[in-house]
Structure 1
Amino acid sequence: MKTTTATTRTKGSKLGAILRVTSGNFLEQFDFFLFGFYATYISQTFFPATSEFASLMMTFAVFGSGFLMRPLGAIVLGAYIDKVGRRKGLIVTLSIMAAGTVLIALVPGYAAIGVAAPILVLLGRLLQGFSAGAEMGGVSVYLAEISTPGHTGFYTSWQSASQQVAIVVAAALGYTINATMQAAEIADWGWRIPFFIGCVIIPFIFIIRRSLEETAAFTARSHRPTTREVFRSMRDNWRTVLAGGLLASMTTTTFYLITVYTPTFGRTVLNLSTTDSLVVTLLVGISNFIWLPIGGALSDRIGRRPLLLAISLLCIFTAYPAMHWLAEAA
């Protein structure tokens, strides 16, 4: 009886830790995705141009700037997390992301403050990208370190699964806004509502993450690597770092293609309504949320390498044909 109770308590503790650490990851990705979801409206507000296409391209260029900051954030903040601990480091990444989110949500449009508007939005994106670079890796490491033997893939998969929850919530909010507001209202100020909601829940996420306990694996370490030692390790293991970076690039490219770019592709190429595009995105998020833990558990059984190779090849050989078929059928 005591053993059963202890096991139940341990499972509850693990579940609580997963929810606490991924709640911050949810917020990070929720704010990150909103920029892509509302790219059309953001372009009209902050990046006016002679053509709608040019305005949209400038918006996506700023969106892409966040990705340019990710490697820098991963290296700088990742080294910081290795030095001070997972808990403290993840609180810092959340703080930086919160600053970027608040900035984007509150910046007046180009019509009000001129060129300062796109500059401030760019700054917000750079902060978000810098933070996200370490957030996802930090959360993954935390989940790996609290995982039970033989279940590392399953535990770590909840880092990506929490991103799918962010997509579902963001898409659901977008659907509600489009169903209840006029197009002119959304273009004027309605697109900011999800960003404001993100700002409102920031204090609650901070409270949740502050209650996070440090992992036993990190506490047991007798040595905390310096930033120089981290860079030296990366240099000595550059092949592994390069392979991991390429795998991450594949994952990131395909992931944002089917989530963030989907609403824009649906509207501009497939001639779908904004509401229909968001419904597609919502369903994609639900599907991903179901498959990710399954994939993580499968990797625990058959290994990481065969699964990663199979999925990468599947993405390479099906992405273009699928998009081409949709465009031709529109």
Structure 2
Amino acid sequence: MSEETFPIDCGYNVDDWLISPTGRNLNLLCKKNTTLYTDESVKDIPAPEKYVMLKITPDKSGYTLQKVYGHPNDSTTLRKSVDPQPAVVVPTFHAKLILFDSTKGESGSTQYDINVTRDAWYYLGVDPTGATWCRNIAFEPANSAKNKYLTEQIHFPPGADNIVHGFFLMQDESQRGKDQRNLDAKNVSLANPYGQRISSRKSESIASNIMFHIGGFYVARAKLDHAKWLGGSEGCFTFIPKRSVHPTAEDASKVTLETAFFSNKTWVNMTAMIEKFRDSDPQRRFIVQIEPRSEYSRDSIKNIIILSGALDRQIKQYISGFHSNPFAF
């Protein structure tokens, strides 16, 4: 299967824009028509609108793996690089990435079909029967009529190369640059009958720092020994390359760190295209629209899949090399 590609094509040549000596874009200004035999009224020169929009749907497209937060193996210490990684199968959903051009309309604008996750399973614990329970702390808009969000770009995840970016969702411009970008959300209970209270939200009806970011498996930067991570979600929407979307949940459950397709290159290719087209807009708009789901589970018994540690391959290679030639270390 060929790799997903997102060719960078803004659909116009910026050199053709009318620019004044002071650097103003005259296409964005209103000008007075001074032609003879006119009423000399002010004429509007329509400025074409160009911005990026991601429309996330509730329509399932397949299945993939996702890291589970709250699990005992979800360590915040140095051990997390060597501990086995807890995972769960989740559905993927259709999303449409649109490079909107008002001169062509939405239907005529360049569009890409991509896959994202919407669920975010958090480990609660084990009940007296031995069943493992998780809670879906997925973000869903509190008001279905207020489901469009501005975005703010950052470097994310911290362990990935600097060219790997993520996008915070914001309800309005006043949230840009803030530590907490709070979004009104459908309630999520933070009580845990099997352990500690869920810490991902401070309020049941407010979600904070929800993102659109890389999903599936990704590779850490070189100074972190190219550790192989499975991405997770605490309410975010994660991009899943087509090669990581499987037709059945059983197929997705069989993926391992050794057989996985890694998202880095595909994600960077897509975000570079998003950012170039977005930056042609004076307001630098990348808008995310979330179509609410009518049905989804909050609490459920889940099968936790334990994958290799992020540095498992490197450690095995080190041990193998040590045993073959201990004097080399």
Tell me the TM-score normalised to structure 2 length: 0.24
Which has the larger share of helix? 1
Tell me the TM-score normalised to structure 1 length: 0.24
